Structure 1
Amino acid sequence: MTVPDMNAQQAKKWAMTGLGLAAGLSLAACATPGAETAGEAIAPLSPRITALIDANRGYPDWRDFPRQGTPPPSAVEVAGRVTALDSASSEAAAQVAAIDWTLEDPEGFARRVADDIAARPIAPATLQTREEVEAFAQGLRDRGRAPPPIPRR
């Protein structure tokens, strides 16, 4: 940067600061009360608007809303449903307790799973070594290269 460029940037910064200060002062001047107050200048619709606001100041009650759907069940019905759920839960707990769990020997289970896996035939692609897979991939890459350009005369 040369010295004139730096001076131009300095002047731009001062100008922007001055604009910001002027905008702030003009906003402050708008916010200060002048000769007129709110009571002196009344619009023609103000009494009507004030009356509407005063009439609707209260919050609506639930009785003002239309009833939709069925009413909620009574407390007796809810208590009956809770009792039915409690009995169903206790029945499910009793059924779970009656299950004869067979995972008492985790090592034996792991042995049975390993024997089951060893008894299944392995796919030929799984038997390939890493080098064979890499050679196959390189062959595909070589086949995918574009041929050399045809010389034009």
Structure 2
Amino acid sequence: MTSPDMNAHQAKKIAGLLLALAGTSGCAAAFDPTTDASSPVAPRVQALVDANRQYPRWADFPATTTDTPQPLEVAARVNTLKASAGALAGEASRIEWTLGDPLVFAAETRARIDDRQIAPATAQTQADVEAFAAEQRRRGTAPPPIDRAPAPR
């Protein structure tokens, strides 16, 4: 035996379904357009529509590949990657990281750099560098605006 609430619920479902179907039936006309016969391009448009009415066909789509790996092959590859990752982690853990004191390292590096001869271009004075920068800034400034007012006659 059904309750009145259940019947009302089913009636609402059916009414909603009918409304949805009625709403979508208005869209059906959009999928079957007709060409205006009075248009000068109507014959050409209709010929193009008729020629491509069956496109795309399933035969035009590429076939699925058959070289997909089987689950056992994927599992074997995953296990190989896990083993190589473990071996790599073991190798990295055996590396002796001996950078020591960073201040001593920086001082040694500065000393090695200071011992080398510098290139002539590097020997330019600070004044030469500043003069070059000022010249580049001067060249990079925009020209004065053009007077667009008509010339007096």
Give the TM-score range, shorter chain.
0.3 to 0.5
Identify the structure with bigger relative contact order (alpha carbons < 8 Å, sequence gap 6+).
2
For the pair shown, the structure with the greater C-alpha radius of gyration is 1
Q: What is the TM-score of this pair, normalised by structure 2? A: 0.41
Q: What is the TM-score of this pair, normalised by structure 1? A: 0.41
